Amino acid sequence: MDNNDLENKTFSASLQRSREIEQDITKNPSNYRVLTGDRPTGPLHIGHLFGSLQNRVKFQNSGIETFIVIADYQVLTDRESAGDIAKNVKELVIDYLASGIDPDNQKTSIFPHSQVPELNQLLVPFLFLVGNSELDRNPTVKEEITAAGLKNISAGMYVYPVHQAADILSVKGNLVPVGKDQLPHLELCRLIARRFNKRFGNDKVIFKEPEALLSSSPNILGLDGAQKMSKSRNNAIFLSATADETAKLIKKAKTDSIKTIYFDPKDRTEVSNLLHIVSLATGEAVESVAERIGDEGSARLKQILTESLNEYLAPIRKRRKELQEDEQYIRDVLSRGIQRARAEAVKTLSEVRQAMSMEF
Ligand code: TRP
């Protein structure tokens, strides 16, 4: 078995485990505490909406306590300045709330990790539980270094996966909805939990090993149809875009020269991706959308996509506008989130100090 086989095998095992957990969630929601998060690097797009935000809303509505960490320190891993971080954090919160995440239900807490000192303090003991060579091997970190073309790599870049373990374990999250690229980080988090218990736990389980939850919805591609939708690839439709901007972007989306529209994600990636987005917005099956369009070709496909996506996004965009005017509410959401996360992190740090005999 070569490395790729191993990776695929691990991935399909994780996928299978994720489906099992999803079944169990509906039966025993109170056994779970979700911790998930994003780097506040810019506005969210429909890839985020259909890929992860809707899932978070689903968890929330099935009664699971959810912590959403805004990983503001982590922004510095691949750039020297965090940019207008205050604005980005605010916009991120607005994107969350407009998409249906609702901190007023007492179940969801949104917090920037820089505001929780006890979480950050956990990084120190955790750093003694991982080897330099382990950090060096992390495939996601390596990819990010290459993608950003970094010449000087900060220690922060190497250790951010350990910091991420502190995000998760400080609030004792046991379920982490993530994309495939985050699996190495979650493996490391599990390792840290295990090693902490072994080294300092005295037979007590201080940290349970959290599990990854991989989404079952396939990634949507950007409007170039070539790669994942992302801000840096200039192929995204942002939640904050207007209906007109959305129409213009879709007009320029790449298609192919075959007139009849049918769904074939292998050989007709671009067209199939557009069909997929229509399907996500309307709930109609991709094949049925394609059949409806038939010989009317990609112009008609784009027209249908524009209409259905704009209709789907209209209430989200309306709510975005309202929230934009309500700075006090956004501040309030964050301060409640920070308070809640801190209460958990304080308890966790105290347990950690006790286990390490570092209470004086
Ligand atoms: N690294 C994640 C990303 O880039 C963001 C993140 C930070 C995160 N802390 C986390 C995700 C904890 C899950 C759990 O998307």
Domains and CATH numbers, the chain: 3-217+327-355 (3.40.50.620), 243-324 (1.10.240.10)
Only one residue has tokens 């699996």, namely 183
Closest C-alpha among 359, 355, 357, 343 to residue 118? 343
| Beta bridge partners of residue 110, listed in sequence order | 68
Confidence at residue 144, expressed as pLDDT on a 0 to 100 scale: 94
Confidence at residue 13, expressed as pLDDT on a 0 to 100 scale: 87
* Residue 76 CB-density burial (10 A; 0-12 exposed, 13-18 middle, 19+ buried): middle
Q: Which residues in the chain show pLDDT less than 50?
A: none
Closest C-alpha among 278, 265, 274 to residue 312? 278
Confidence at residue 322, expressed as pLDDT on a 0 to 100 scale: 97
Only one residue has tokens 């000192």, namely 117
CA distance 207 to 190: 9
Phi, psi of 212 (to 5 degrees): -80, 145
168 lines ligand 1 (CB under 6 A): yes
Confidence at residue 2, expressed as pLDDT on a 0 to 100 scale: 62
Nearest CA to ligand 1 atom 14: 36
Note the pTM of the prediction, 2 decimals: 0.94
Q: Work out which ligand 1 atom sits closest to the CA atom of 35.
A: 14
Q: Work out which ligand 1 atom sits closest to the CA atom of 177.
A: 13
- Asked if 162 and 139 touch (Cβ cutoff 8 Å), the reply is no
CA distance 181 to 189: 14
Report CA Rg, the chain.
22
Tokens of 138: 């992390």
CA distance 254 to 226: 9
Only one residue has tokens 């239900």, namely 105
3-state secondary structure (DSSP) of residue 105: helix
Confidence at residue 11, expressed as pLDDT on a 0 to 100 scale: 83
Nearest CA to ligand 1 atom 3: 38
- Asked if 146 and 5 touch (Cβ cutoff 8 Å), the reply is no
Confidence at residue 1, expressed as pLDDT on a 0 to 100 scale: 53
Nearest CA to ligand 1 atom 15: 38
Confidence at residue 127, expressed as pLDDT on a 0 to 100 scale: 98
7 C-alpha to ligand 1 centroid (Å): 21
3-state secondary structure (DSSP) of residue 175: strand
82 lines ligand 1 (CB under 6 A): no
